[in-house]
Chain A
Amino acid sequence: MASLDSIRQSIHESDADVGGDDAEIIPADADVEDVCDEEVDTVRSLIEPFPDDKEGVIPALQEVQGEYGYLPRFSMQLIADKAGTSMAHVYGTASFYSQFYLEPRGEHTIKVCTGTACHVKGADEISEEFCDELDVELEEVTDDGQFTVSHVRCIGACSLAPAVMVGDNVHGNVTEEKVPDVIEEYRGDDA
């Protein structure tokens, strides 16, 4: 797994001692024993407000993903412990919903619409261009931790086809030539 300094950095920007230049992203399969106490404490405090039973699992998963951008294994172990349920239950829940990611994600997800209109207008080429430009596969994260390219179903912007969404912003009538501009708009933007 590529090192993803910037995610860790941006997460801990206000927390100068943690992270630092050499900080690496926590691998998806890291166990509780593999991560430092600070990370465990971070997750514990994030999930603290939620109920100590199965009802607390989904909000806890959402909270952790809000912090890390995905659900590292150790966080699911901590959630299972707190909710008094099994790892299998937490994983079953996390893998059921498409809102949860089990692999690290880029800070910005470039969602290429593949609805009918966008498909006809060349969504595949656009998506390929994004991947080539960023040197990643679909659903992978770039080495600098900034971007993930993803396909989504119709986003309702058919008149702007082919359309791409980054965060809450919609970019319409995207052409292969415009792809670098879209990327540049977000690169280094640690919002």
Chain B
Amino acid sequence: MSKATDADAELGVTLEINGQEVQAKQGETILEATERTDIDIPTLCAYADLTNVGACRMCLVEIDGSRLETACTTAVQDGMEVEVDTDDLWDHRQTILELMFSEENHYCMYCEMEGDCELEDMFNRAGLDSSRFPLEYPEIDPDTSNEFITMDLDRCISCGRCIRTCDEVVGNDTLSFGNRGKDATIVADDDVPLGESSCVSCGACVQSCPTGALYSPLSAYRGREEDCDVVQTTCSECSMGCELEVYTNSGRIVKIEGVEDGPDGGQLCEMGRFGLLGDDRDRIHEPSIRGEGAVGVDVATDRVADLLEDAETVDAVASDRLPSETLDAFAEAMDDYDAAVEVPGAGRAREEKRIARQVAKHFEKSPSGLRASGPRALLDADSVVVFDTDIVDTHPVAASYVRRASKGGATLLSVDEDEDRFGRKSDVSIEAGTGLDRVSEDAVEVVEEGASALSDVDAETLMDAVPALTSGIGVVVLGPDVSEDTIVNAYALAGMTGSKVLSLPRQANTGTDVGTDDLHGSADVAYLFAGDDREENVDRMLDVARGADTVIVQATRESILTKAADVVLPALDWFERSGTVTDASGADREIARVLEPRVAVDSDREVLSALSEAVEPQEVKP
């Protein structure tokens, strides 16, 4: 309710809080009004942009010397006199805190969150060191069924932040309150273990939990927040480019959180929050040459330079998750050896730019006018069409925004060749047996000619659903596996209806212009810069490796690729790199070094420039 406040409204309401004159906006809550002041109203259930519900009663304030209200749900009024810190109010807060403490099993000393716990802080702030009430000792089994998230309701105060986060931020609705009164508890789906529920393990609830009721075993007992260094960087697992807040302690990563007031609203996915912590493939620490074992960096780069120089043909492939600066250095180095260069996945972004230009010309618009500014554009949409719902797996954060749009009242039309992954969130699902390009073409026809003679079985559904695009704000989402025809149709659809396209290629860094060559296919030497790419992403590189006589691999961790290599060069991991990547919406995002590299090389670019320098001066062509 309180979040409906118009951000641009003027400060037209004057009230007094703790004797201090405060200016507020019409419709704003007392709690929101104090955010512009140094007055600190205690809260437990309020969090970031979540709807306020007044559940914890910590923000009780005294209004006009008589009535008590929760500041998070009470709107400001002109001339209101509010007291926040009277003895009477703190008496109430103490009692509530003592009841919270006695109701569940809060044994702070043994809790992972001790030191980072908002309940403990509040207990201290209220001047409490014990509870007057006898402890209830309820019997609670911690739920460890999810490998990333432990739900230990021994520490739960039923503030409902996790439920609202799952609903309002993730749009997944896995969590709810079950039962009633004193027995009320957090449940997943119909009270099944979290690991067997519809939970997508994004961990947003872990980030919002004020106590130790939801925590990740991957981060547990690795250090309190105050003992950690925090670095902001960008995730390069997909083209979303989510901002990561990485906590480190004693040279290791403790946990990763989203940034609530950042461009992504704090939402991350399982991969970004947990997967990055748990890469247990063996690290490549130093260069090695087949038959000779580990060698020094100089020896290895000299050997690589020799191999490249002696080769008639060189095929070079680099991972699309590397920063643009590194990819440029790669292209430059390979160019010195006349290599054919490819960045798998970069084709899609290039193709799309060309399509957008042409479609835009047709509709007398600018190409950028056809593209959505980012996933947040979905929140303002009246209708959303998704081609390829696999974004639920490949771009989970974008999927959250789609679900939120649907919950916010947007009409959601999902088109997929298989099962619609948005399930009941979709208003219309089309299982496109005939392929996405056919359905997207039909959609264009529906807009163009209205009730035309569509032969498809899906025609009727399309006729009902597509017109929603033409009224209000529409967004067409393109998943990772769509054909060129579908991309053309999607842009055409956007051009005709005034909608925007949100394109989500698999490729992590969409900003590179590197990689336009056709590879030789069976070259003398293959140079494969895999970085920290995972097994499923190195298929293309494996193909190239199979065709080549000699294989050089620059990689972070051991994989099937490094086993096939004649020379292996170490590469940095995601948390050691620095540079820039471009996200799916075309915005540049910074990658910052989180930890110093602990391998033989300090920078991927150094290795590449050493290769460039090793080239003997070429004859200048006349």
Q: A residues engaging B (CB < 8 A)?
A: 73, 76, 80-81, 84-92, 95-98, 102
Pair A91/B424 contact, Cβ less than 8 Å:
no
Pair B191/A95 contact, Cβ less than 8 Å:
yes
Pair A95/B424 contact, Cβ less than 8 Å:
no
Pair A89/B176 contact, Cβ less than 8 Å:
yes
Known: A80-B424, A84-B424, A86-B174. Contact between A91 and B180, CB under 8 A? no
Pair A88/B424 contact, Cβ less than 8 Å:
no
State A51–B92 Cα separation when bound (angstroms): 42
CB B29 to nearest CB in A, in angstroms, measures: 25
Cβ contacts under 8 Å, B178 to chain A: 91-92, 95-96
| A-B residue pairs in contact (CB < 8 Å), sample of 29 | A73-B190, A80-B424, A84-B424, A85-B173, A86-B174, A86-B176, A86-B189, A86-B198, A87-B190, A87-B198, A88-B174, A88-B175, A88-B187, A88-B189, A89-B173, A89-B176, A91-B178, A91-B189, A91-B190, A91-B191, A92-B178, A92-B187, A95-B178, A95-B179, A95-B187, A95-B191, A96-B177, A96-B180, A98-B180
Residue of chain B at shortest CB distance from A76: B190
| The residue from A87, A88, A89, A95 contacting B180, defined by CB atoms under 8 A apart | A95
Known: A80-B424, A84-B424. Contact between A91 and B174, CB under 8 A? no
Cβ contacts under 8 Å, A91 to chain B: 176, 178, 187, 189-191
State A89–B178 Cα separation when bound (angstroms): 9
Asked whether B413 is an interface residue with its Cβ less than 8 Å from the other chain, the reply is no
Residue of chain A at shortest CB distance from B188: A88
Cβ contacts under 8 Å, A81 to chain B: 424
State A91–B176 Cα separation when bound (angstroms): 8
CB A88 to nearest CB in B, in angstroms, measures: 3
CB A141 to nearest CB in B, in angstroms, measures: 20
The size bracket of the interface on B is 10 to 19
> Which B148-187 residues have a C-beta within 8 angstroms of A?
173-180, 187
Residue of chain A at shortest CB distance from B427: A84
Residue of chain B at shortest CB distance from A28: B190
Residue of chain B at shortest CB distance from A73: B190
CB B564 to nearest CB in A, in angstroms, measures: 43
State A132–B159 Cα separation when bound (angstroms): 43
Residue of chain A at shortest CB distance from B173: A86
Residue of chain B at shortest CB distance from A77: B190
State A102–B187 Cα separation when bound (angstroms): 15
A interface secondary structure, majority: helix
Q: B residues engaging A (CB < 8 A)?
A: 173-180, 187-191, 198, 424
CB A133 to nearest CB in B, in angstroms, measures: 30
Pair B179/A96 contact, Cβ less than 8 Å:
yes
Residue of chain B at shortest CB distance from A71: B190
Residue of chain B at shortest CB distance from A90: B190
CB A25 to nearest CB in B, in angstroms, measures: 18
CB B561 to nearest CB in A, in angstroms, measures: 40
Q: Which 4 A-B pairs have the closest CB atoms?
A: A86-B173, A88-B176, A91-B190, A92-B176
Residue of chain A at shortest CB distance from B174: A88
Cβ contacts under 8 Å, B180 to chain A: 95-98
State A81–B427 Cα separation when bound (angstroms): 11
Residue of chain A at shortest CB distance from B178: A95
State A97–B184 Cα separation when bound (angstroms): 12
Pair B179/A88 contact, Cβ less than 8 Å:
no
State A119–B104 Cα separation when bound (angstroms): 31
State A95–B178 Cα separation when bound (angstroms): 6
State A44–B188 Cα separation when bound (angstroms): 24
State A58–B179 Cα separation when bound (angstroms): 15
Cβ contacts under 8 Å, A88 to chain B: 173-176, 187-190
CB A1 to nearest CB in B, in angstroms, measures: 17
CB B176 to nearest CB in A, in angstroms, measures: 3
Cβ contacts under 8 Å, B175 to chain A: 88
Cβ contacts under 8 Å, B177 to chain A: 92, 96
Cβ contacts under 8 Å, B198 to chain A: 86-87
Residue of chain A at shortest CB distance from B198: A87
Residue of chain A at shortest CB distance from B183: A95
State A39–B131 Cα separation when bound (angstroms): 53
Residue of chain A at shortest CB distance from B185: A95
CB B529 to nearest CB in A, in angstroms, measures: 44
Residue of chain B at shortest CB distance from A85: B173
Residue of chain B at shortest CB distance from A97: B180
Cβ contacts under 8 Å, B176 to chain A: 86, 88-89, 91-92
State A86–B175 Cα separation when bound (angstroms): 9
Cβ contacts under 8 Å, A80 to chain B: 424
CB A102 to nearest CB in B, in angstroms, measures: 8
State A96–B178 Cα separation when bound (angstroms): 6
Residue of chain B at shortest CB distance from A86: B173
Cβ contacts under 8 Å, A84 to chain B: 424
CB A55 to nearest CB in B, in angstroms, measures: 16
Cβ contacts under 8 Å, A86 to chain B: 173-174, 176, 189, 198
State A137–B574 Cα separation when bound (angstroms): 59
CB B178 to nearest CB in A, in angstroms, measures: 5
State A39–B176 Cα separation when bound (angstroms): 27
Residue of chain A at shortest CB distance from B189: A87
Cβ contacts under 8 Å, A92 to chain B: 176-178, 187
Cβ contacts under 8 Å, B189 to chain A: 86-88, 91
State A102–B188 Cα separation when bound (angstroms): 16
State A76–B177 Cα separation when bound (angstroms): 16
State A11–B173 Cα separation when bound (angstroms): 34
With A87-B189, A91-B190 given, name 7 new contacts (CB 8 A).
A87-B190, A88-B174, A88-B176, A88-B190, A90-B190, A95-B178, A95-B187
Cβ contacts under 8 Å, B173 to chain A: 85-86, 88-89
Cβ contacts under 8 Å, A102 to chain B: 190
Chain A CB count within 10 A is highest, among B174, B178, B198, for B178
State A84–B190 Cα separation when bound (angstroms): 16
Residue of chain A at shortest CB distance from B190: A91
CB B199 to nearest CB in A, in angstroms, measures: 10
CB A47 to nearest CB in B, in angstroms, measures: 14
CB B351 to nearest CB in A, in angstroms, measures: 37
State A73–B187 Cα separation when bound (angstroms): 15
Cβ contacts under 8 Å, A96 to chain B: 177-180
Residue of chain A at shortest CB distance from B175: A88
Residue of chain A at shortest CB distance from B167: A86
Residue of chain A at shortest CB distance from B426: A84
CB B420 to nearest CB in A, in angstroms, measures: 13
Residue of chain A at shortest CB distance from B423: A81
Residue of chain B at shortest CB distance from A98: B180
State A178–B136 Cα separation when bound (angstroms): 40
